[in-house]
Amino acid sequence: MKPVFNTPDWVLVALAERRQHNLMRRTITLDSAQTPHTRINNQAYTAFCSNDYLGLADHPDVIQALQLGALKYGVGGGSSHLVCGHLAPHQALEDALADWLGYDRVMLFSTGYMANLGVISALADKNRPVLQDKLNHASLIDGAMLAQASLRRYLHGDVVSAERLLAKSATPGLLVTDGVFSMDGDVAPLLELSRLARQHEWMFMVDDAHGLGCLGEQGKGCLSLSGLNANSLPILVGTFGKAFGTAGAFVATSHDYAEYLTQFARPYVYTTSMSPAIASATLASLQIIQSAEGQDRRERLARHIEYFRQRVQSLPVELMPSNTAIQPIIVGDSKAALDIGEQLKTLGIWCTAIRPPTVPVGRARLRITLSAAHSDDDLVLLCDSLEKVLTATL
């Protein structure tokens, strides 16, 4: 017999409210690999919602590296990095990332969420405040909450707003921003924020989860795009679950910050290390990103972005000012966004509707993401389908 649970009323009320406002989240199960042409519920779709921006999640070299890494080092890390879970593939990946990005040290984390929680909760506290962009990722906000730090949020992308709040603070702390914002696709004014941080003697941290691999010279992300380096951006967080096509995350920083985080970043100290096989696969991804093939993939992605924006700008919707792989179309109403997503499915397009609280109320959207793995025909199908559905609906 299945167990019978006595669910508290407040749980049922919260779920009912979500249903009433068309805000329920659901898990979907893919019946195929993470590729543009996927199968969901035994139906074929062309997907435009994955963060696999360079199409490396099923790259044969990455798969082979994963298999060879598992054969030599096993699948599990077995322990935290500080006990006996730091294996040779971890060290090789850290060294390669540090050399690529020009930092003293790199530390690996199991996920991007854990990296942000670990760094912020270690560097901020009740006496060291945190200042963040209004649209920062939830993990960055949660890191400040875990630290029990005073948290202020400046207007999105607004350097004047950030400076005003910095000037009001009695003590220096940690200035934090996304590099590329995951729901809007725009890039933060990193050069100006870096200057502010230095002027006011604040630590400066950037989470470049959606920029690394795709933007800048050799795919070095917003660091390169904004003309920054390890001196002007002392704490850089990146993830492997996007353009790298694998899983896990890292923080690139100085020797001193790395030593401090090794002692005080609880999600690093008390978490089993990432799989050594994944570390091997990620190193292979990095090598592709640095290569001529990686450059070809970035150029193909850029062409897709240009084509998409040219086609969609004439449709009766708000297209966000983004030049990255994230191309949100603002619909506004949550139910309307869901309905449009369902209509696109009938045309073979899988595109997820994003609704509050992930985005502000009244700003529900189709979060369309493009990949180098998409073909030109895929982009034509997407734009033709959007034109058909949006002109008939809005």
pLDDT, mean of residues 286-309: 98
Q: Which domains does the chain have, with CATH numbers?
A: 26-55+292-393 (3.90.1150.10), 60-290 (3.40.640.10)
Lowest average pLDDT, out of 143-147, 196-200, 351-355, goes to 351-355
* CB-CB contact of 181 with 188 (8 Å): yes
pLDDT, mean of residues 210-237: 96
For residue range 245-292, what is the model confidence (pLDDT) as tens digits?
999 999 999 999 999 999 999 999 999 999 999 999 999 999 999 999
Distance CA 196, CA 338 (A): 41
Residue 26 pLDDT level (bands cut at 50, 70, 90): confident
Note the pTM of the prediction, 2 decimals: 0.94
Is 182 annotated in some ligand binding site? Answer: yes
Closest CA to 100 of 220, 244, 196: 220
* CB-CB contact of 380 with 370 (8 Å): no
For residue range 139-167, what is the model confidence (pLDDT) as tens digits?
999 999 999 999 999 999 999 999 999 99
Distance CA 207, CA 252 (A): 11
* DSSP of 165-206: HHHH-SS--EEEEESB-TTT--B--HHHHHHHHHHHT-EEEE
What pLDDT shows up at residue 248? 98
Is 50 annotated in some ligand binding site? Answer: no
| Exposed / middle / buried, residue 356 (Cβ in 10 Å: 0-12, 13-18, 19+) | middle
Is 137 annotated in some ligand binding site? Answer: yes
Is 143 annotated in some ligand binding site? Answer: no
Does pLDDT of 88 surpass 80? yes
Closest CA to 130 of 148, 112, 103: 148
pLDDT, mean of residues 43-47: 95
Does pLDDT of 70 surpass 90? yes
Is 239 annotated in some ligand binding site? Answer: yes
Percentage of residues in the chain with pLDDT exceeding 70? Answer: 100
Q: Where are the alpha helices (DSSP H) in the chain?
A: 9-20, 60-73, 88-101, 112-123, 138-146, 159-168, 190-200, 222-225, 255-264, 266-269, 276-290, 292-312, 334-346, 376-393
Residue 5 pLDDT level (bands cut at 50, 70, 90): confident
pLDDT, mean of residues 90-95: 98
Q: What is the DSSP letter of 128?
A: B
Is 53 annotated in some ligand binding site? Answer: no
For residue range 122-139, what is the model confidence (pLDDT) as tens digits?
999 999 999 999 999 999
For residue range 163-182, what is the model confidence (pLDDT) as tens digits?
999 999 989 999 999 999 99
Distance CA 76, CA 275 (A): 5
Residue 293 pLDDT level (bands cut at 50, 70, 90): very high
Distances in whole angstroms, Cα of residue 323 to Cα of each of 101, 111, 214, 302, 307: 23, 26, 11, 8, 11
pLDDT, mean of residues 48-75: 97
Does pLDDT of 4 surpass 80? no
Does pLDDT of 383 surpass 70? yes
Average pLDDT, whole number, for the chain? 95
Strand partners, 239: 249
Residue 394 pLDDT level (bands cut at 50, 70, 90): low
Distance CA 175, CA 194 (A): 9
Is 210 annotated in some ligand binding site? Answer: yes
Q: How many C-beta atoms surround the C-beta of residue 314 within 10 A?
A: 9
Is 156 annotated in some ligand binding site? Answer: no
